C-alpha cells in the first residue's frame, strides 16, 4: 500500500506544485487505486506515473472547492478512452457533487462509455469496498468538508506449517482449505483451525483529510488513534495560527500539538501555500520529527503491512 501525492498545492498552484490529488495505491491488495480529490492538471500528473486510469474505480471528493474538483470532469472523460470502457466507477462526495457533474456533462455534451454512480455522503457515512471500510467525518471548513478513514479488515494469521506436519498433514492445496475453514478433520479427529494459525494480522489505517481547521473532539481522535498514516492539510507552516484559523485552514505545528497523544505512525502534510519558497520548505523539513513529511508533487510513501 502506498500514498502517492500527485498535487500538493493549496488553492493557487505554483510552478512546482499542482492542486490537490492523492492516490491511495492498493493494487497489490485490491488491484485498484483509490483517488482522493481531483484538482486541475491531475491528468498531466498522471502521465508521469505508471498508474492506469482503468484501475481507478472509486473516487473520494473531500469538498467542492475548485482546487479539489476542477480536474474531475476532464479525468472522467479521458478515462473513457484509456481502458475504462465498460468499467463502472463510483464517486463519493458532498451534497451538490451530482448536480455539478451532471450540469457540466450536459452543457459540454459529454457522454461516457462506462457507468458512473455518484454517492453523496454525510457525517457518519460508512462505505465498504472489498476488504476495506471507509468512515466519514465532517471537518471544520467554510464549506462542507470531510475526512475519509480507510481501514483494512484484519486478516487471519499465517499457518503454522510445522504444527500441521506434526499431525501428518503434508503441504498442498489442503493448507489453503484449512486456513479458510473454522475447523478441519484429519484421521477422524476434528481440529480447531485457530490452533494452527499465528497472531491476527491487523489491518492498516489511513486517514485523509480535506481542508479544515484542526479538530478537537473525542470522536475525531478515536478515528485517528494508532493510524498508520494521517494525511492532513498544512496551508500554513510558519506559526501563523490566527491567520490559519481565520481562513478555515491549519498550521502544521498546531496540528502536531493537538494530536501528539494519538500514536500516529506517520504524518504527511500537503495543501502547501504558494507563499512559501521551496528553499524555505526544504530547510523547514529538516526541523521536523522523523515521522512527519511535507509532501511535494509525486511524493510517495509506503505503508508497510503490519507484522
We report the CATH number of the domain holding residue 124 as: 3.60.15.10
Spell out the residues 6+ positions from residue 226 whose beta carbon is closer than 8 angstroms to its own: 205, 262, 263, 264, 265
Q: Are residues 119 and 39 in the same domain?
A: yes
The total of structural domains in the chain comes to 2
Q: Are strands 146-152 and 205-209 parallel, antiparallel or unpaired?
A: antiparallel
**What pLDDT is attached to residue 121?**
97
Nearest partner of 59 among 29, 28, 23, judged by Cα: 23
The residue among 196, 217, 252 that closes a domain is 196
Q: Which set of grid coordinates corresponds to residue 246?
A: 481565520
Q: Which of 67, 228, 254, 297 is catalytic?
A: 67
Q: Is 268 among the domain residues?
A: yes
Q: Are residues 98 and 171 in the same domain?
A: no
254 is catalytic: no
The residue among 144, 178, 196 that closes a domain is 196
CA distances from 165 to 70, 116, 170, 186 (A): 59, 50, 6, 12
Q: Are residues 278 and 189 in the same domain?
A: no
- Lookup result for grid cell 526544504: 282
Q: Are residues 191 and 110 in the same domain?
A: no
Range of the domain at 179: 161-196
Q: What is the pLDDT of residues 270-294, one digit of tens each?
A: 999 999 999 999 999 999 999 999 9
Nearest partner of 267 among 241, 240, 301, 238, judged by Cα: 301
Tell me, yes or no, if the pTM score tops 0.85. yes
**What pLDDT is attached to residue 156?**
87
**What pLDDT is attached to residue 305?**
82
Binding-site residues sit at 63, 65, 67-68, 141, 211, 271
Q: Is 30 among the domain residues?
A: yes
Q: Are residues 70 and 108 in the same domain?
A: yes
Q: Are strands 183-186 and 146-152 parallel, antiparallel or unpaired?
A: unpaired
**What pLDDT is attached to residue 307?**
62
Q: What is the pLDDT of residues 75-102, one digit of tens each?
A: 999 999 898 899 999 999 999 999 999 9
**What pLDDT is attached to residue 155?**
87
Tens-level pLDDT at each residue, the chain (307 residues): 999 999 999 988 988 999 999 999 999 999 999 999 999 999 999 999 999 999 999 999 999 999 999 999 999 999 998 988 999 999 999 999 999 999 999 999 999 999 999 999 999 999 999 999 999 999 999 999 999 999 999 988 889 999 999 999 999 999 999 998 999 999 999 999 999 999 888 999 999 999 999 999 999 999 999 999 999 999 999 999 999 999 999 999 999 999 999 999 999 999 999 999 999 999 999 999 999 999 999 999 999 986 6
Binding-site residues for Zn(2+) sit at 63, 65, 67-68, 141, 211, 271
Q: Are residues 268 and 173 in the same domain?
A: no
Q: Is 307 among the domain residues?
A: no
Q: Are residues 176 and 222 in the same domain?
A: no
Q: Is 26 among the domain residues?
A: yes
Q: Is 243 among the domain residues?
A: yes
Q: Are residues 137 and 170 in the same domain?
A: no
DSSP structural state of residue 2: E
Q: Is 66 among the domain residues?
A: yes
For 307, half-sphere exposure in the C-beta direction (CA atoms, 13 angstrom radius) is 0
Q: Are residues 218 and 256 in the same domain?
A: yes
Q: Are residues 289 and 150 in the same domain?
A: yes
**What pLDDT is attached to residue 204?**
96
Instruction: Quote the CA–CA distance of 151 and 52 in Å, as a whole number.
Output: 23
Q: Are residues 184 and 58 in the same domain?
A: no
**What pLDDT is attached to residue 302?**
97
Q: Are residues 9 and 66 in the same domain?
A: yes
Amino acid at each position: 500500500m502506498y500514498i502517492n501525492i500527485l498535487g500538493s498545492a493549496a488553492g493557487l498552484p505554483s510552478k512546482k506544485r499542482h492542486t490537490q490529488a492523492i492516490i491511495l495505491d492498493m493494487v497489490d491488495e485490491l488491484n485498484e487505486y483509490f483517488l482522493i480529490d481531483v484538482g486541475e492538471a491531475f491528468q498531466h500528473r498522471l502521465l508521469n506515473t505508471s498508474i492506469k486510469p482503468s484501475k481507478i474505480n472509486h473516487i473520494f471528493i473531500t469538498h467542492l472547492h475548485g482546487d479539489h474538483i476542477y480536474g474531475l470532469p476532464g479525468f472522467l472523460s479521458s478515462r473513457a478512452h484509456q481502458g475504462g470502457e465498460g468499467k463502472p466507477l463510483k464517486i463519493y462526495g458532498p451534497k451538490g457533487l451530482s448536480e455539478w457533474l451532471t450540469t457540466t456533462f450536459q452543457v459540454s455534451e459529454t457522454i461516457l462509455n462506462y457507468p458512473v454512480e455518484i454517492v453523496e455522503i454525510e457525517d457518519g457515512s460508512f462505505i465498504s469496498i472489498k476488504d476495506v471500510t471507509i468512515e466519514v467525518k465532517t471537518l471544520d471548513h467554510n464549506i462542507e468538508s470531510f475526512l475519509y478513514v480507510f481501514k483494512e479488515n484484519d486478516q487471519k494469521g499465517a499457518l503454522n506449517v510445522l504444527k500441521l506436519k506434526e499431525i501428518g498433514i503434508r503441504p498442498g492445496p489442503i493448507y489453503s482449505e484449512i486456513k479458510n475453514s473454522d475447523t478441519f478433520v484429519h484421521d477422524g479427529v476434528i481440529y480447531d483451525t485457530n490452533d494452527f494459525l499465528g497472531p491476527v494480522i491487523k489491518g492498516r489505517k489511513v486517514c485523509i483529510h480535506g481542508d479544515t481547521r484542526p479538530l478537537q473532539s473525542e470522536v475525531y481522535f478515536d478515528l485517528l488513534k494508532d493510524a498508520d498514516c494521517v494525511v492532513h492539510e498544512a496551508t500554513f507552516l510558519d506559526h501563523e495560527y490566527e491567520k490559519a484559523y481565520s481562513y478555515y485552514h491549519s498550521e502544521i505545528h498546531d496540528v502536531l500539538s493537538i494530536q501528539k497523544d494519538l500514536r500516529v505512525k506517520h504524518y504527511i502534510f500537503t495543501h502547501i501555500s504558494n507563499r512559501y519558497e521551496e528553499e524555505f520548505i526544504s530547510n523547514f523539513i529538516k526541523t521536523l520529527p522523523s515521522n512527519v513529511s511535507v509532501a511535494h508533487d509525486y511524493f510517495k510513501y509506503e505503508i508497510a503491512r503490519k507484522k
